[in-house]
Every structure is written in C-alpha cells, then in structure tokens.
Chain A
Amino acid sequence: MEKGSVRPPRLARSVLARLLPPEYRDAVLGDLAEEFDRRCRERRIAGFARAWYWRQVLHVDVWRLRGEARAERAQRLGGGGGMRDLFSLELRQALRVFRLSPGFVAAVVLTLALGIGGATAIFSLVNGLLLRPIPGVDAPARLAAVRTSDFGGAFGVSSYMDFLDFRERSRSFESIAAFKPRQADASANGTTQPLGVTMVTSSYFDVVGVPAYIGRYFTAEVDQGAGAHPEAVLTEGLWRRLFGGDASVVGEEIVVNGRAYTIIGVAPPGFRGTEMVNVPDLFVPMTMQPHLMPASGYLLDRRGWGGVSIVGRLAEGVSHETAASEIQSIGRQLAIEYPRTNESRAYTVLGFREAALPGGARGGVLQLSGLLLSIVTALWLVVCLNVANLFLARSMKRRQELAVRRALGASRARIARQLVLEFMAIALTAGVAGMFFARAVAKGVATLPIPLQFDVSLDMRTVAFAGALAIVSGLLCALVPAFAMSGTDPRVAAATSLSMRPRRHRWPSRLLIVSQVTLSVILLFATGLFVKTYSNLTAADPGFDRENLLTAQFNPSLQGYDALQMADFYERLTEEAAGIPGVEAVAMADGLPANANFGRGA
C-alpha cells in the first residue's frame, strides 16, 4: 500500500465536518484521521481503513456532541453565551415565577390584562371604524368613491346625470355604480318594520364583487324606466328575519312603502352595503326613486339634483390619482357642456376606506377615537406604574436571593435580564388575557344598537397591537425594578434585613408612586369633567316640562300620501290622540327640540 497517499473517504469526512460542532470539529476529524492513518499502516489494505472510517462516521453521535458544545458555551459565558441556550435557561428560570408565586402572578396578570384589554378594546373599535375595510366586499383596495363638491359645501353626493357621463366616458374604472340610501317601511309575512333601503344601479353588485347568495342581482334593464322595476335584493339578515332563511324566497313579494316588490335574490352573509352609515336591509333599482321619494318626483334626469353616491372598481393597475385626474378632466368637459349646473362643480376620488364614513362623521370619529385612545393610554400607564411598583416591592423581598446570585458571580446585566424576562413572561400572559377581555368588550359593543356598520372582531392588527402593548408593558414594568435590583450589593443585601431597606433603594418606588398618583389625578379630573358635563347636559332645562311627555314619529309620504292626504291624516291623528284617556294635550312639530331629525312629532 502506498504510504502517505491514502486519505480518509472525502464524502464521509465532509459530511462529518458539516455535522460536528465547531468546538469538536478539529479534534474529532483529527483523531479519526490519525487512527485511519495508523490502521492503513497496520492493515496495509486501504479498503479496511475506509470501511472503518465510514463506520466511525456513522457511529459518531454528533447530536450529543452538539448538545455538549451548547452546554459548554452556555457555561463558559456563565452569564452570556450560546445565546440560545442561555436564553432558554433564563426563560425557564423566569417561568418559575408562575409556580413559586401564583397569587402574585395572578394579581399582576389580572391588573395588566385590564389595562391592555381596555386599550385593545378601544383600539379594535378605532380599527373597525377607521382602518378595516367594510366587511363582505371583494378586494376593497380597488374600490373608489367619486365625490362632488357643490352639493352641501364639502365633497359629497353627486348628480345621477354626471354619474351616467362618468360611466360612459371614464376608462379608469372596471365598473362604476350609483346608489342612494333611504328609509322605508317594508312588510312581509304580516310584519311591518322601518328598513334601510338602498337604491342601486344594476352595476352595483359587480362593483362590490360579491356573488348572489340566493337567486340573482339586477340586470341592466332595471336602469331604464322610472318606477318600472319593482324588484328587490335582500340582505342575508333581513332574509332570515322576515323569511326565516327560506331558500325559496325568490319570486316572493315584499311590500315597500305600500308597493309590492318581487324578491329576485339575497346578498351573501356579511355584506351590508359600502358605507358604515345608512346600512341597508334591502336593495332596489335606482329607477324606483320616484316611488321611494314620492314627494320629489323623478329626479334621475335632473342634472342639478345631487343626491347619489358613486362607487367604482378601479381597472387593473389604475391608481386612485389616475382615476381622480380622469374624473376631473371629464368634469371640466361637463362644465363646458352644461355650464348652468356644472360650472362650479369639482370632483375628487377617494379611497374606499376614506369614503365609508361621510366627511364630517369621519372627523368626529377621528376626534372621538383620539380622545378615547388617550384616556385608555393614560389608564394603561397607571396600570403599568402600579404593576411596576408591585414588582419593585417583590424584588425588594428577593434582594437576598439576588445578592446570593451576585455573590456567586452572576453579572448585573444577567440579573437585570433575568428580571426583565420574568416580567415579560407575565406581561405576555397578561397580553393574551387582555386580548380575550378586549374581544369580550368588542363583542358587547357590536351588539349595541349603533347605526353603524363596522367589524370589531380580532384581526392581525389588533393582535399585533395587544402584543406590542404587552411587550411595552413588560419593559415599562420591568425597567425600574430591574435597574434598581440588579445593582444589589451582595454584602449590603446579606447584612440588611427586609425592614432595613437602604435609603438609596427607596427612590425608584417613590418615583413610581409619584408618577402613578400624577396620572391618576389627571385621569380623575378628566373623568370628573366628563361626568359633570354629562350630568349638566341631562339636567339642562330645555325650556319646557319634560315630565310625562311622549313623542312619536310619522312619515305618511312613504306610503304615497300627497299633501292633502297628509294634512287630513295629521288632523285625524291629533283628534284621536287627544281623545285617548289620560292625554292632556297633543301637538305637532316638524322637528323635536334637541333633535334635528326628520318627521313630525306629536
């Protein structure tokens, strides 16, 4: 056998080299090479040595060696190395707090969970109101609303005639639709109730991209002929409410404002229009406008009437800016063609999310959200300071334990890290508990009769918010005690009893208490102001006696009453109401004090 030229099998060596931890790579490969060489010399047949080498490679328990190497690293760093091992060791130590002080942990988790949960609940409301897309709409990022400026000052509703021109001339939209929400009385199966009805053009459901749950949607024919297409598409909620979820509802009739509409389909669950306000229960063709607005007559051929909202689905690759500039260019053409009505009109294109709330309402919601978030943030800070103080008090009790660890060589950084990890474990648990709390609160809010459509269920954004809040809570609660305690002098700590807390260890506690009291006082004042304002508002003298006063609203025009019939109706109503035993006086009003809504009050 040729000496010096035989080498261990390259593949086996390279496999082993890749698997071995760096600490043992040279030693093991060198040992094997040395023995391989010896065997080659002794046996003189390289094949035996190669087979032996392969056997060794297959038998080297690299995983145990890797484990040992990790343990060595952790030990070598004695307080820092093999970061992963050290971290897992410290995490295990941190989790011991759950076992050793269950009462303390439960109190802290509960307190923090209330702080985190409260803030998360408010955030999920703000998220639902301002950030999340309207539920049940396909690819909402591609939806856009066209707004016109000369109706009511700010950008708002548009002219139906302008809409027809936009539909005809615009290339930025894949499809574009107009809609107008109204209130109406509807009856089916012997039940009559006031409902939200949205009049829509036939393209409306193409724009929102939701397939019919049952039946079909409107065809293009419904866009022609005033009042000629009494057809209706129900929302899934109304379908269940009025028809008990009967699948054979298509072809049935629903009476809207005294006229029978044929039900042609049901929209899918979750879809209730494209706005957060004026949430519809059923959809009817736009051309039914004269029937739903009997006092106004046919308005769809009047360019001067600005009453519809326009929503469109942007063509693939078209931005909102491009669509806006195209709409504005069409608007300039319209101003030339119809100077009498269109000369002073300006148009804008808004993102769907932005358009889901009317301009004024959006501002109000933003203000309210900011206020609520500030309050819950302050509350959360008070909670954190409170918990930090608890941690500090508990850390003081642990001074001797920490002192022993310092005496055994644990660095100040390691002790601080350990304390922070401990707090973080508790804070994250509180974060999870807070999320459940927030979910329960948000669910409760969702069941309130708020005339708004928004989604408050937990989403990734809310979970991330709660997680971030938990982490920041952990850090906030941990930093002061960790900083204060990590510097514990072993000799001093060992020599002093708990009651003899050194003077210089008292400042963190004092700092926390001062901050907590300050914030609490601010919150108390804010809450006091709120309560006082509310009580002033409710106690304010409206200038009339509210005792035993009842109000009712009527809108006979929805049933097709003309002016004469309405006058007769109100006259008879007044007489008959005055005849009811116990009624002292009856009056009519166009609007109620402190309530500028429509209708007549009696």
Chain B
Amino acid sequence: MSERSYLRELEQLALLSVLRLGEDAYGARIREDLQQTARRPVSIATIYVALSRLEQHGLVRSWMSDPTPVRGGKSKKYYELRPDGVQALKEAKATLERMWQGIGEALGVRST
C-alpha cells in the first residue's frame, strides 16, 4: 500500500470475510457475513468502496461472474485475496496480538 501500510478495521474485516467465504466471496455474501459474524451492518456501497480500495492496493482481485437468473440476470463481482492481502492480514493479526499481550487477562479476556 503506497500511502499507508496498515489496514483499517472495515478493510481487515472485509479481507477476513473474503478469506472465510472462499469461492463464494461476492458482495452480497460478504455483506451478510459481516452482518452475521462480525455484527457490523454496512451498506452495500461501503463494502464495495472498501473492497475497491483493497483492490487498488493490490490486496484482493475481483472478477465478474456470468449473469445469474436469481439476481435478475445480473452478474456477481467475486473477490479473492492476493498474496499481499494474506500478508497484510498476518501483519494486522501480529500487531493486534502484540498490543494485546499482557492486558488480555487484566480485562478478563483470553488472549489469542
């Protein structure tokens, strides 16, 4: 990433969701996953804007599927992580772990 080397929270969640959903990672499913798993209700535009930024920074790549009848004949925009995306997630996790070290127990949570 040219301007900053860290992930914002939503970007991190979106990357995780793309990773979790695997071959089923497209807009509606990622949004649903964020709502259900991360408990983060986000608008459809917010998701796509975050994914677009990640794509511009080379962390994910996207492609359009063939049109699907159930979606009114519209295509899906699928996403998958690039190696840089995986690396960025690893770094984000390591950063969080470093920050949590020693204070998890004090707050009554188990550190990872």
Contact B45 A33 (CB under 8 A): no
Among B26, B43, B71, point to the contact of A61 (Cβ < 8 A): B43
The answer to whether the Cβ of B72 comes within 8 Å of any Cβ in the partner chain is yes
- Which one of A68-76, A394-402, A489-497, A550-558 is at the interface? A68-76
Q: Which secondary structure characterizes the binding site on chain B?
A: helix
Interface centre among B55, B67, B71 (most CB of A within 10 A): B71
Contact B45 A30 (CB under 8 A): no
Which 6 A-B residue pairings sit nearest by Cβ, starting from the closest?
Answer: A30-B74, A27-B77, A30-B71, A31-B28, A68-B52, A33-B72
Among A27, A28, A37, A60, point to the contact of B70 (Cβ < 8 A): A37
Q: Which secondary structure characterizes the binding site on chain A?
A: helix
Contact A60 B49 (CB under 8 A): no
Contacts of B32 in A (CB 8 A): 35
The answer to whether the Cβ of A8 comes within 8 Å of any Cβ in the partner chain is yes
The chain B residue sitting closest to A27, CB to CB, is: B77
Contact A26 B74 (CB under 8 A): yes
The answer to whether the Cβ of B87 comes within 8 Å of any Cβ in the partner chain is no
B residues sitting closer than 8 Å to A (CB atoms) are 26-28, 31-32, 43-46, 48-49, 52-53, 55-56, 64, 67-68, 70-72, 74-77
CA distance A518 to B72 in the complex (A): 72
Interface centre among B26, B28, B55 (most CB of A within 10 A): B28
The chain A residue sitting closest to B72, CB to CB, is: A33
Contacts of B52 in A (CB 8 A): 65, 68-69, 71-72
Q: Can you offer 24 A-B residue contacts whose CB atoms are under 8 A?
A: A7-B72, A24-B48, A27-B26, A27-B48, A27-B75, A27-B77, A28-B45, A30-B68, A30-B75, A30-B76, A31-B27, A31-B31, A33-B71, A33-B74, A37-B70, A56-B44, A60-B43, A61-B45, A61-B46, A62-B45, A65-B45, A65-B48, A71-B56, A72-B52
| Distance in Å: Cβ of B27 to nearest Cβ of chain A | 4
Contact A59 B43 (CB under 8 A): yes
- What mask results when residues 340 to 366 of chain A are scored 1 for a CB within 8 Å of chain B, else 0? 000000000000000000000000000
The chain B residue sitting closest to A37, CB to CB, is: B70
Interface bin, chain A: 20 to 34
Contact B49 A26 (CB under 8 A): no
Contact A60 B71 (CB under 8 A): no
In the complex, besides A31-B27, A31-B76, A69-B52, 5 extra interface pairs with C-beta distance below 8 angstroms are A26-B77, A27-B27, A27-B64, A29-B74, A30-B28
Assuming A31-B44, A32-B44, is B49 touching A68 (CB within 8 A)? yes
Contacts of A64 in B (CB 8 A): 45, 49
The chain B residue sitting closest to A33, CB to CB, is: B72
The chain A residue sitting closest to B75, CB to CB, is: A26
A residues sitting closer than 8 Å to B (CB atoms) are 7-8, 24, 26-35, 37, 56, 59-62, 64-65, 68-69, 71-72, 75
Contact B48 A28 (CB under 8 A): yes
Contact B28 A34 (CB under 8 A): yes
CA distance A56 to B44 in the complex (A): 8
CA distance A470 to B109 in the complex (A): 69
Contact B64 A26 (CB under 8 A): yes
CA distance A31 to B32 in the complex (A): 10
CA distance A62 to B49 in the complex (A): 10
Among A7, A26, A68, point to the contact of B53 (Cβ < 8 A): A68
Contacts of B46 in A (CB 8 A): 61
| Distance in Å: Cβ of A373 to nearest Cβ of chain B | 51
| Distance in Å: Cβ of A23 to nearest Cβ of chain B | 9
Contacts of A71 in B (CB 8 A): 52, 56
The chain A residue sitting closest to B57, CB to CB, is: A75
| Distance in Å: Cβ of A11 to nearest Cβ of chain B | 15
CA distance A30 to B67 in the complex (A): 9
CA distance A65 to B32 in the complex (A): 19
The chain A residue sitting closest to B62, CB to CB, is: A27
Among A29, A61, A62, point to the contact of B72 (Cβ < 8 A): A29
Contacts of A75 in B (CB 8 A): 56
Contacts of B27 in A (CB 8 A): 27-28, 30-31
Contacts of A69 in B (CB 8 A): 52
The chain A residue sitting closest to B71, CB to CB, is: A30
| Distance in Å: Cβ of B73 to nearest Cβ of chain A | 8
